[in-house]
Structure 1
Amino acid sequence: MKILVLHQLPYRKAGYDRAVDHRRHDVTYAGHADRLADLPAGLPARRLPVPADEDFAEAVVARTSPADGFEAVLSLSEFGVLAVCRVRAHLGLPGPTPEQAELAHDKVRMKQALAGSGVRHPRFAAEPPREGPLPWSGPTVLKPRRGTCSEGVSVFPSARRALAAHRALAEPGAYQLEEYVDGDILHTDGLVADGTLVHSVTSRYVGKPADYAGGAPLGSHQLPPDARYEDLARRVVTALGIDRGTLHLEFFETPRGELVFLEAANRMGGAGVVDAHLRHTGVHLPSHEIALRLGLPRPAPLPPSGRYHGWLVVPGHHRPAGRPHGVSLPAHLREHPCADRIHTLPPGTPAARHITYQEWLVPLALEASHPDPDTLRAYLAACAEATATTTEEAA
């Protein structure tokens, strides 16, 4: 098979070679110079450089032709959701249209698509009124319609203040207003084949993604199977028309136990989700997604660990440039039975200046596990508190 990969994720996260035999298939990687540089030196594949100052999709289109004979186009990145549709159409290959892909990419369209599905979602306003109030008055979230890592998300104590902030935006049409929902945030990660959720694991966040953007630690840990979570994920897959690949669904569980949709993506979760999922289930989400999208046999799962796994990431993007990050774990947490791996930056290495969950770009990242999910949660919460304290002291 002749495959064109829109390479926008770090290779170490995607692991294309776990699903694709590069000597059997003819593979071309299209990407920016820094991304192509992270391909293994001996990987038998073509490289198609994409200038960083050009629109990614248009640059690939300009450098490819239907005559090239590509049989499939693959993208695993949230940033390639629409690009892959554009390139696929240019090459004359079948697949979802941009309008279909938007249902799991645009936070307004995905909530609109849930109408009649039985899935509750927060009240929202894609185009707030030019005059007059919103239909609710309490805490309100202002967020981009597209994007990842909670970048650009703000929470206001009232709908009035959020509405005023929206009206002051240079591009208000790129944002939406959403009713704030009180509760824990959970995420379900799984696989979809032929429109059916065939595999999933649900985890509960320690902290909130929006707070991570502001500088707070973020983690999550896996939970035992729950029919309520699985039913919600199936309804979302059906309503959004997700046909194949991975699902990353985020939702609230309120203090009363009600499940409320937050957002969904037809791609794998970030941070430590892939590694935790692999250890818990034996399923490597990226390679299974690649197989599903290319029509190849899914890899055989590895033996599961028999433990619940979790992760914690401490950000550095909010720290002043050139300042030491000042993040460390106390000895009793470093040596705790839950601790599996602790990643820290080498001395003198600055943390990334942009919001990222990559363990090699942040001051500290932790992988943890335990047979009891409650014990694991308590450990991750203690680590979050300890690292938040050391970061504040160093500020």
Structure 2
Amino acid sequence: MATLPPHLPGTRIERPGIDATETEVIAAMAGRPRPDLVIAQSEFDLIAAARVREALNVPGPWEADVLPVRDKVVMKDAAARAGLRVPRYLSLPAALAGAEVPWQGRTVLKPLDGASSLGVATFDTVAEALAGLPAGADPDGFEVEEFIDGAIIHVDGLAVDGVPVVVQASRYVGTLLGYAQGSPAGSVQIDTPPSLVEWTTDCLRAVGITTSLFHLEGFETPDGPVFLEVAARFGGAGVAESFELATGVHMPSVQLRALSEAGAAKFDVRDCGPDARYGWFVWPGHLLGDKFCEITGTDRFRDDPRVYRWVERAADEPVSQTLSYADYDVPIAGIVGPAPTEELDRFLREMFAAVTVTAAGKAATDV
């Protein structure tokens, strides 16, 4: 409610926030005209929005349509049926019941509907992964998949009727799993050749993404990209900001226009060229064990001309104790560019190696 512009025309309905989102929204709509659209801008609201559409008979994706972008086994099933290369995988209940696991060695255990690598763990063997379910967790909510050793890319943009109309690829520096485990992460934009756009289109069609933002992740291999997962939303951290700097397109705005206005997907896209790429970086604070942190080693990076924006917590500013990519929650975050991909990649790696973030300890608790 606080972020809605006050001049925005419409009726604001505040729900209690006690029951399931779809239950409260459907109840709030009782006696009101059926909406033309139901839009979810959070990944965690996609299923709820689908259930609202279904209950109110509103056009758009219903729950069965949304599952391929929320359930990672259903997602990879769809990608594999479409002929895309995917990591070998198995639902955890099937693996625990004795189904053959068709790979050996490093294995990833992950929640079916997870995001931001929360709850994801990597093990050296399949057996260790099968025994690695967190205490009290429901096996039905997990899968296992083979570990793929390779750089991870993400491809972001807007699709209309299943076709990307604006698209930009990036390569991670560090990983989101590493971030969840306490290491800094970021990404830098790379070339987006026609072959990568074609692969992206195939991935979107496989999981049924039509008119939506998308955040697609895959592994780079000598034989081409391997599908990892895709979300019907814009990427977190600095993805949307760096995307807008490179293309001139503000993703949440163009999504709303594409959904609500016929022909609104036609807009100018800026091409900054290979020497004007952007990227983002962020340091986690959720594993520090302290609300306050001590940051060292930033002096030679903070004012570097390749830094577009730098956000750093002061000694008396708390950091979030839960995983977050938001600037206001973390010790350090920012945007880099414009510069060539290789230069930005090198800059982030040097910064990640030199900067340290530690718990401030007693001195901070006395602030």
Normalised TM-score (structure 1):
0.84
Sequence identity (%): 34
Matched residue, 1:161: 128
Matched residue, 2:287: 318
Matched residue, 1:373: 341
Amino acid at match of 1:289: Q
For 1:84 and 1:310, how far apart are their aligned partners in 2? 32
For 1:170 and 1:69, how far apart are their aligned partners in 2? 38
Matched residue, 2:248: 282
Q: Secondary structure at the match of 1:112?
A: helix
Amino acid at match of 1:87: V
> Aligned pair 1:210/2:177, yes or no?
yes
| Segment drifting more, 226-235 vs 178-187 | 226-235
Residue segments in structure 1 that go unaligned for 5+ positions in a row: 1-35
Matched residue, 2:364: none
> Aligned pair 1:142/2:142, yes or no?
no
Matched residue, 1:265: 231
Whether the 8 Å CA contact 2:306–2:339 is kept in 1: the answer is: no
Q: Secondary structure at the match of 1:235?
A: helix
| Aligned counterpart for 2:187 among listed residues 207, 213, 220 | 220
Question: Which whole-Å deviations, capped at 9, do the CAs of 1:60-103 have from their partners, x for residues lacking one?
Answer: 11111363342221111101111111112232211112111111
Q: CA deviation at 1:56?
A: 1.1
CA gap 1:93/1:165 in 2 versus in 1, 3 angstroms? same
Matched residue, 2:44: 79
RMSD of equivalent CA atoms: 2.1
> Aligned pair 1:239/2:232, yes or no?
no
Q: CA deviation at 1:303?
A: 5.1
Amino acid at match of 1:148: A
For 1:293 and 1:392, how far apart are their aligned partners in 2? 45
Q: How does 1:336-347 map to 2 (within 5 A)?
A: 336-347=304-315
Whether the 8 Å CA contact 1:191–1:244 is kept in 2: the answer is: yes
Question: Which whole-Å deviations, capped at 9, do the CAs of 1:259-295 have from their partners, x for residues lacking one?
Answer: 2111001111111011100010111111111112223
> Aligned pair 1:348/2:316, yes or no?
yes
CA gap 1:185/1:64 in 2 versus in 1, 3 angstroms? same
For 2:100 and 2:55, how far apart are their aligned partners in 1? 44
Amino acid at match of 1:82: I
For 2:360 and 2:151, how far apart are their aligned partners in 1? 29
Whether the 8 Å CA contact 1:288–1:299 is kept in 2: the answer is: no
Q: CA deviation at 1:333?
A: 1.2
Q: Secondary structure at the match of 1:142?
A: strand
Residue segments in structure 2 that go unaligned for 5+ positions in a row: 362-367
| Aligned counterpart for 2:330 among listed residues 344, 362, 367 | 362
For 2:85 and 2:268, how far apart are their aligned partners in 1? 34
CA gap 1:298/1:114 in 2 versus in 1, 3 angstroms? closer
| Segment drifting more, 104-113 vs 292-301 | 292-301
Question: Which whole-Å deviations, capped at 9, do the CAs of 1:155-180 have from their partners, x for residues lacking one?
Answer: 01111100112496530000000100
| Segment drifting more, 146-155 vs 130-139 | 130-139
Q: How many residues were matched structurally?
A: 356
Amino acid at match of 2:25: V
CA gap 1:250/1:302 in 2 versus in 1, 3 angstroms? closer
